Amino acid sequence: MFEHFWRAVAIGIGATALMDLWAIFLNTVFAQPRPNWGLVGRWVWHLRDGKVFHDDIGEAAPYAHESALGWAFHYFVGIVYGII
């Protein structure tokens, strides 16, 4: 049982890492902007206040560690997808 769980977690992390490598490739070759996980972190931070929807998340009050929180949430979602 736990073997399948940990395998799914590893698949989620691996798939998310591949997606990040793909974003680096697209940025390097085609100058496509890389994802800004800081804004995702800001959105997650504001969830604690019950604020889900924003007219412009860029105008919401910033959080000092929003980039780290955004990256952590990005990988959390990848792990959840791996488990599902």
pLDDT tens profile 6-21: 999 999 999 999 999 9
Residue 39 contacts residue 9 (beta carbons within 8 Å): no
Q: Is 90 exceeded by the pLDDT of residue 1?
A: no
Which tens digits make up the pLDDT trace of 25-68? 999 999 999 999 999 999 999 999 999 999 999 999 999 999 99
Report pLDDT for 59: 96
* Residue 28 lies in domain: 2-83
Identify the DSSP state of 55. Answer: S
Q: How many domains does the chain have?
A: 1
CA distance 11 to 28: 25
